[in-house]
């Protein structure tokens, strides 16, 4: 009988436990966890229960060691994104890629690195290219489950006596990945092939040494090479520290104890999560929705990408009787030719980032919580594209918008149970992203992405204002970075940083304010700049009567006369654009081109010395009726320039006297004014059901802007449930419908369509 | 484990606690008896005597009526509807759908573009308090924010009898 080549090939000894392959181990783990409802089938935790001190000691060693690895390794990096902003994270996994412990930092990557290891297991890397002790793997492929191309993973297997005992993973947010535009989250990519250099779980080193072909290829594929190189050394250093740590623990505790520990700590994480849900939440359903703009009609892009639309993300949280947390995104609309698409792993992992800041604010972040939750992510939607061509370089544009309402939903539980200190009205849309690239002030081919976004305003709580200019949802250690450091690294001089009055949503407790920085081009050659932010839309509501945070806009001036004005000692634009109704920048310079509009996403434009660009970092949403805000707090806001006078009067209903620029609130007059505003509310509002009749007529007449109709048409095409609920709510006849094809906009790539499938 | 009295609860509700006190409350394990103390404090603050089953939002409560109905009620006394319905449909609404109306709340360019998104304000018909604000594109169905499973919450989660009197 003829033998096939595969029959005679010498198979390697499996590297899993007890003679199993990693693929077998993964399969068995999924089966037993699903079948029993307990991770690894652990109905009890014998190690933890019989020897809790030893159990906790191992946990503390590992957790402390992983955090230590991050803190130490980040000093290797030169990129301000990593070194200043802390955009890195390390995690330790089981052989099957379930996370055991993780560091601080951008912990969204607990899931994405796990997805990459699972991809290698599923694709039998064990046989080819082989998984050996001291190998080094790299991944940043979006469609494997990464967030976006700039998040580069280093993954190393950890062996003990010939068996894989686990994996260490490290990720950094690199400054550039060689995309069609510079910067880490570029505007311009509309397909995967524009997103930059993508590495699909590739073996890049053996025996702890990086391969020369990898070093040459990777450094020729990206801009800002020195940052790329040092970021990689950062990741490898951290992973090796974690490997040493694990081997030390095994030497001390024994491999059997370590194996039992790693199973129990994940099941313990699952139980801890269930306990938190029961402690903090109320069973039931919570509904919310977010929207973010894709204003691409007039951008310099391929014709099929040039349209205006809205990314729609409705969400329904169900807290089940057994404390299972389910989040269903049914009704979300289609992926598109923009860089804002995402993968299911990135949105679910991101949800854990959010939950770790609210529902499970402890250090036991591991995959246990994943086993106590369930997600519904529609296939074909913007966060589960049915086409590998989708671009993801700036996925945060949509992800941040999608997560914020979930926090708002959970806050209804916290409010109901009396945990008012935990309520959060939502999060800022962390933008604009200010990006660019070219030859920098040192003559080096470089790129930039200002991570000032790490310090946006926080949403208000039920007992205090949101913190001003301080944080970002995706990195709990937000920091705006030092101007002096940014100026060292970017060919842009600061003309000021200033709080933007009114950028936080108004409310009884207002959202934390955002701010602006103004940058002047200096010293670069062949440099381009662009922005990415939400402009025409407020990406979240307020909570319980509070207003949404302010939306975004852009300001940019090219070919200015600032050089001449400096020579003549004339005033130039400085600080923030504190009252856009009465702008001052234009009065202090002339420019051939000025962009002052809501087009907060733009594509590359040449940017030369003395050109000016503003970065606007958003505020957070507000909580409660602004008319109930303590007038003394409004007075303080006004005097500290967190709010403009006319809004202190008309939104908060306060009356002031002014002396030498200091405002004092008149409490009695304020009380009267607030009563008047209350009366005015009644006068100019209508019963909701009455208003609905008018809105229904508009719907029947299809009276809305094309981007609005396009958003609904896409959600209708993907979801029968959303369509039925929409029609039922508005009492719309069966025959009424909006189809993408009738809108006269490009439909390339629109595959899943239940109307066509019906035909 | 931390335990808080009615005085602390009143201070929490009034927003008069110092940050270090709030920080301590945030960092501590949650006190399981919080709900009952909180509910009692809120009950003492309202002028009506329908028992509060669940605080539903700022100013809003799900209360038990003597005929067995559970309704959404404002602390001013206005009764909206059964808690399974969307109270917003029984409120008054004001929609900011022009630049001029947006500019009353936000400086120029800092509001949503009303062609893309409108702001809906829901007021109590009786006391005019602003109870919720939605920022949604035109045509968006009014969102039913929260449908609590009150029975499971009392019977299986906190294992307490449902309050029958104020």
Q: Is the pLDDT of residue A5 over 70?
A: no
| A520 bridge partner residues | A493, A612
Q: How far apart are CA A92 and CA A98, in angstroms?
A: 8
| pLDDT (tens digit per residue) in A320-361 | 999 999 999 999 999 999 999 999 999 988 888 888 888 988
pLDDT tier, A9 (very low <50, low <70, confident <90, very high otherwise): low
A421 and chain B: CB distance < 8 Å anywhere?
yes
What is the C-alpha R_g of chain A? 27
Cβ-defined contact of B149 to A283 (cutoff 8 Å): yes
**Testing the interface with B: which of A361, A421, A616 to mutate, by most B Cβ within 10 A?**
A421
Cβ-defined contact of B34 to A310 (cutoff 8 Å): no
User: Does A8 or A180 have the greater pLDDT score?
Assistant: A180
- Quote the pTM value: 0.96
Q: Is the pLDDT of residue B2 over 90?
A: no
Contacts of B83 in chain A (CB under 8 A): none
Contacts of B54 in chain A (CB under 8 A): 282, 416
pLDDT tier, A10 (very low <50, low <70, confident <90, very high otherwise): low
Q: Which one, of A532, A519, A580, lies nearest residue B99 by Cα?
A: A580
A residues 707-726 closer than 8 Å to B (CB): 707-708, 711-712, 725-726
Q: For residues A728, A732, A733 and A736, what is the CA-based torsion angle, rounded to 10 degrees?
A: -120
**Taking residues A539-560, what's their average pLDDT?**
97
Q: How far is CA A693 from CA A689, A698, B89, in A?
A: 7, 9, 12
Cβ-defined contact of B157 to A283 (cutoff 8 Å): yes
Beta strands in A371-524 (DSSP E): 373-376, 433-439, 445-449, 492-499, 515-521
Cβ-defined contact of A288 to B37 (cutoff 8 Å): no
A727 and chain B: CB distance < 8 Å anywhere?
no
pLDDT at A365: 75
Q: Is the pLDDT of residue A8 over 60?
A: no
Contacts of A545 in chain B (CB under 8 A): 58-59, 129-133
Contact A248, A58 (CB under 8 A): no
A321 and chain B: CB distance < 8 Å anywhere?
yes
pLDDT at A280: 96
Cβ-defined contact of B110 to A553 (cutoff 8 Å): yes
pLDDT tier, A6 (very low <50, low <70, confident <90, very high otherwise): low
Residue spans of the domains in chain B: they are: 6-86+149-157, 90-136
A209 and chain B: CB distance < 8 Å anywhere?
no
pLDDT tier, A758 (very low <50, low <70, confident <90, very high otherwise): low
Cβ-defined contact of B26 to A293 (cutoff 8 Å): no
Q: How far apart are CA B151 and CA B166, in angstroms?
A: 18
Cβ-defined contact of A704 to B93 (cutoff 8 Å): no
Q: Is the pLDDT of residue A97 over 80?
A: yes
| pLDDT (tens digit per residue) in A193-231 | 999 999 999 999 999 999 999 999 999 999 999 999 999
The DSSP code sequence of A712-739 is: HHHHHHH-HHHHHHHHHHHT--TT----
pLDDT at B74: 98
Alpha helices in A464-520 (DSSP H): 483-489
ipTM above 0.95, yes or no: yes
> 3-state DSSP call for residue B139?
coil
| pLDDT (tens digit per residue) in A364-410 | 778 888 888 999 999 999 999 999 999 999 999 999 999 999 999 99
**Taking residues A604-630, what's their average pLDDT?**
98
pLDDT at A377: 97
pLDDT over 90 percentage in chain A: 89
| pLDDT (tens digit per residue) in A711-721 | 999 999 999 99
**Please, what is the average pLDDT of chain B?**
97
| pLDDT (tens digit per residue) in A676-699 | 999 999 999 999 999 999 999 999
Cβ-defined contact of B110 to A502 (cutoff 8 Å): yes
| pLDDT (tens digit per residue) in B134-155 | 999 999 999 999 999 999 999 9
Q: How far is CA B55 from CA A5, A324, B15, B80, B126, in A?
A: 70, 23, 17, 14, 19
| A449 bridge partner residues | A435
**Please, what is the average pLDDT of chain A?**
95
Distance from CA of A696 to the nearest CA of B (A): 8
> Closest residue of A to B94, CA-based?
A685
Q: How far apart are CA B117 and CA B119, in angstroms?
A: 7
Q: Which tokens sit at A104?
A: 């601080």
Strands B92-96 and B79-82, by their bridges, are unpaired
Cβ-defined contact of B106 to A550 (cutoff 8 Å): yes
> Closest residue of A to B131, CA-based?
A545
pLDDT at A495: 98
């Amino acid at each position: 009988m003829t033998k096939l080549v595969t029959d005679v090939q010498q198979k390697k000894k499996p590297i899993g436990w007890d003679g199993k392959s990693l693929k077998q181990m993964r399969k068995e783990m999924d089966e037993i966890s699903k079948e029993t409802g307990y991770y690894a089938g652990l109905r009890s935790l014998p190690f933890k229960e019989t020897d809790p001190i030893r159990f906790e000691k191992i946990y503390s060693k590992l957790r402390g060691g992983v955090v230590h690895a991050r803190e130490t390794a980040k000093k290797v990096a030169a990129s301000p994104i990593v070194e200043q902003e802390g955009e890195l994270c390390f995690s330790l996994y089981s052989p099957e890629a379930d996370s055991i412990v993780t560091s601080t930092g951008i912990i969204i990557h607990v899931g994405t690195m796990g997805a990459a290891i699972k991809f290698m297991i599923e694709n039998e890397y064990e046989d080819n290219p082989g998984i050996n002790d001291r190998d080094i793997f790299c991944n940043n492929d979006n469609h494997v489950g990464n967030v976006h191309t700039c998040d580069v993973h280093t993954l190393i297997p950890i062996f003990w006596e010939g068996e894989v005992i686990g994996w260490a993973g490290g990720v950094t947010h690199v400054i550039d990945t060689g995309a069609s535009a510079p910067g880490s989250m570029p505007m311009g990519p509309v397909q995967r092939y524009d997103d930059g250099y993508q590495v699909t779980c590739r073996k890049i080193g053996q025996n702890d040494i990086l391969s020369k072909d990898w070093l040459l290829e990777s450094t020729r594929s990206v801009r800002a090479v020195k940052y790329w190189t040092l970021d990689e050394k950062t990741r490898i250093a951290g992973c090796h520290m974690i490997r040493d740590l694990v081997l030390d623990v095994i030497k001390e505790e024994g491999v059997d104890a370590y194996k039992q520990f790693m199973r129990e700590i994940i099941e313990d994480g699952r139980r801890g999560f269930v306990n938190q849900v029961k402690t903090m939440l109320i069973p039931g359903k919570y509904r919310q929705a977010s929207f973010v703009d894709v204003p691409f009609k007039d951008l310099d892009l391929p014709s099929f990408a040039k349209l205006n639309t809205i990314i729609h993300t409705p969400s329904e949280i169900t807290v089940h009787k057994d404390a299972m947390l389910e989040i269903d995104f049914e009704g979300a609309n289609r992926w598109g030719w923009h860089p804002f698409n995402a993968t299911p792993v990135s949105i679910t992992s991101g949800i854990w980032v959010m939950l770790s800041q609210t529902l499970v604010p402890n250090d036991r972040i591991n995959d246990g919580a994943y086993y106590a939750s369930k997600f519904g992510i529609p296939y074909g939607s913007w966060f589960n594209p049915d086409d590998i061509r989708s671009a993801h370089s700036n996925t945060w544009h949509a992800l941040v918008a999608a997560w914020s309402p979930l926090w708002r939903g959970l806050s209804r539980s916290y409010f109901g149970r009396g945990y008012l200190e935990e309520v959060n009205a939502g999060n800022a849309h962390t933008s604009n992203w200010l990006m660019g690239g070219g030859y920098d002030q040192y003559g080096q081919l470089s790129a930039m992405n200002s991570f000032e976004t790490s310090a946006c305003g926080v949403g208000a709580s039920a007992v205090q204002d949101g913190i001003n200019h301080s944080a970002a949802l995706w990195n709990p250690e937000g920091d705006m970075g030092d101007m002096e450091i940014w100026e060292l690294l970017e060919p842009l001089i600061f003309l000021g940083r200033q709080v933007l009055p009114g950028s936080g949503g108004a409310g009884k407790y207002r959202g934390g304010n955002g701010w602006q920085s103004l940058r002047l081009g200096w010293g670069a050659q062949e440099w381009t700049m662009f922005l990415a932010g939400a402009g025409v839309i407020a990406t979240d509501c307020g909570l319980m009567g509070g207003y949404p945070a302010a939306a975004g806009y852009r300001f940019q001036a090219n070919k200015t006369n600032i050089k001449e004005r400096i020579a003549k000692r004339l005033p130039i634009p400085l600080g923030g654009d504190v009252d856009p109704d009465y702008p001052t920048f234009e009065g202090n310079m002339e420019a051939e081109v000025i962009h002052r509009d809501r087009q907060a996403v733009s594509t590359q434009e040449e940017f030369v010395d003395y050109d000016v660009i503003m970065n606007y970092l958003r505020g957070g949403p507000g909580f409660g009726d602004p008319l109930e805000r303590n007038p003394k707090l409004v007075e303080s806001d006004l005097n500290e320039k967190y709010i403009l006078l006319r809004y202190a009067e008309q939104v908060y209903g306060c009356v002031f006297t002014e002396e030498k620029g200091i405002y004092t609130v008149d409490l009695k007059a304020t009380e009267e004014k607030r009563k008047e505003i209350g009366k005015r509310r009644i006068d100019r509002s209508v019963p909701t059901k009455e208003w609905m009749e008018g809105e229904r007529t508009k719907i029947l007449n299809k009276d809305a802007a094309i981007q609005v109709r396009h958003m609904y048409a896409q959600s209708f095409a993907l979801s029968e449930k959303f369509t039925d609920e929409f029609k039922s709510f508005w009492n719309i006849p069966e025959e009424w419908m909006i189809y993408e094809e009738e809108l006269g906009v490009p439909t390339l790539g629109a595959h899943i369509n239940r109307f066509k499938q019906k035909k | 484990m931390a335990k808080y009295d009615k005085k602390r609860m009143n201070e929490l509700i009034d927003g008069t606690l110092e940050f270090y006190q709030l920080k301590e409350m945030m960092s501590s394990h949650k006190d399981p008896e919080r709900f009952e103390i909180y509910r009692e404090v809120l009950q003492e603050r309202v002028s009506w005597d329908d028992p509060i089953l669940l605080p539903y939002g700022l100013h809003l409560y799900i209360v038990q009526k003597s005929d067995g109905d559970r309704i959404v009620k404002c602390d001013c006394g206005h009764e909206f509807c059964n808690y399974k319905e969307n109270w917003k449909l029984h409120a008054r609404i004001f929609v900011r759908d022009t630049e001029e109306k947006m500019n009353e709340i936000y400086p120029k360019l800092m509001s949503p573009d009303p062609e893309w998104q409108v702001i809906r304000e829901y007021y109590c018909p009786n006391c005019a308090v602003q109870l919720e604000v939605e920022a949604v594109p035109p045509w968006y169905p009014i969102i039913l924010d929260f449908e609590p499973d009150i029975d499971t919450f009392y019977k299986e989660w906190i294992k307490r009898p449902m309050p029958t009197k104020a």
